[in-house]
């Protein structure tokens, strides 16, 4: 079975069996608890093919996370607009972040990855002092043959002490890296809130890119991405377009090649990544719900 069918079958199940709920930002059909597994062996890159996924946009966001950035203006300069709604003046004010300049998102994902729990300077979107660099700690352990098989290679974006300072509390909250047979690197992600139509295809691609990148950077082989999902939901506005997607047959996943080995994890660029043979169906227009 094509691995993308895991996603299509879950979409179908939610559309038929999902509970009708009214939440913070609209009406949904939802189910609680699901999982998927995707091979990353031999450069396999699970970017969904039953619709076009904007993989460069996804990759630019990931590299922004890796650098620990929290300023949406940096993404806008890269023509990435997925955070615009959450960075707007109205949305920040709705979160009580009335002193934040528009575009500053608070101590979100990448900030916690690289400066966990450091006091946040909202005036420039930077830490006031250094927090704990979770990502670099994991890299250091993966580069060391004596520590790379640790069961404690965990990176979390969920910091209860700083949730109220974030424009949006993290949806993908924790990942764990694991090495088998000395050099096979896998990543497991737990995500509390799963926007099945828009978010999930990006999340699968993003953490698969991340696993491939860390494997390359640490001299390992990417093996598998394992995805654990909490609240899996379809917004009512998304049901019709995703049901159209279900009629498309998946193509073979593409292959990713990372063509440069940088000294620091912060230094990788989009042009270091090459996606080979990404065949896909047409783009399906779906409005983002913020």
Q: Which residues are tagged catalytic?
A: 171
Task: Measure the CA–CA gap between 162 and 132, rounded to whole angstroms.
Answer: 14
Question: Are the CB atoms for 70 and 110 separated by under 8 Å?
Answer: yes
Q: How far is CA 52 from the centre of its chain?
A: 17
Distance of alpha carbon 208 from alpha carbon 230, whole angstroms: 19
CA separation for the pair 65, 58 (Å, rounded) = 11
**Strand-pair partners of 184:** 180, 221
Instruction: Give the C-alpha separation, 284 to 187, whole Å.
Output: 29
Which among 8, 54, 15, 38 has a CA at the least distance from the CA of 249? 8
Q: Which residue has the tokens 């394992």?
A: 226
């Amino acid at each position: 079975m094509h691995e993308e069918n895991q996603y299509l079958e879950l979409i179908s199940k939610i559309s038929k069996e999902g509970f009708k709920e009214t939440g913070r930002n609209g009406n949904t059909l939802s189910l609680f608890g699901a999982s998927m597994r995707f091979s990353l062996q031999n450069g396999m890159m699970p970017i969904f093919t039953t619709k076009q996924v904007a993989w460069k946009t996804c990759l630019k966001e990931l590299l922004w996370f890796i650098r620990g950035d929290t300023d949406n203006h940096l993404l806008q300069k890269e023509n990435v607009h997925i955070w615009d709604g959450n960075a707007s003046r109205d949305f920040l004010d709705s979160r009580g972040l009335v002193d934040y300049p528009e575009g500053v998102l608070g101590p979100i994902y990448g900030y916690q990855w690289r400066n966990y729990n450091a006091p946040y300077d909202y005036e420039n979107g930077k830490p006031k002092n250094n927090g704990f660099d979770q990502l670099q700690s994991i890299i250091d352990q993966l580069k060391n043959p004596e520590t790379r098989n640790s069961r404690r290679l965990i990176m979390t974006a969920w910091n209860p002490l700083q949730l109220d300072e974030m424009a949006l509390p993290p949806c993908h909250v924790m990942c764990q890296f694991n090495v088998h047979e000395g050099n096979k690197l896998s990543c497991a992600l737990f995500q509390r809130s799963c926007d099945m139509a828009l978010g999930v295809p990006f999340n699968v691609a993003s953490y698969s890119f991340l696993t491939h990148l860390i494997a390359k950077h640490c001299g390992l082989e990417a093996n598998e991405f394992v995805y654990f999902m909490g609240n899996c939901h379809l917004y009512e506005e998304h049901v019709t377009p995703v049901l159209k997607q279900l009629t498309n047959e998946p193509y073979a996943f593409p292959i990713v090649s990372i063509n440069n080995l940088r000294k620091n994890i912060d230094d990788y660029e989009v042009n270091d990544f090459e996606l080979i043979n990404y065949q896909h169906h047409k783009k399906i227009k779906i409005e983002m719900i913020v």
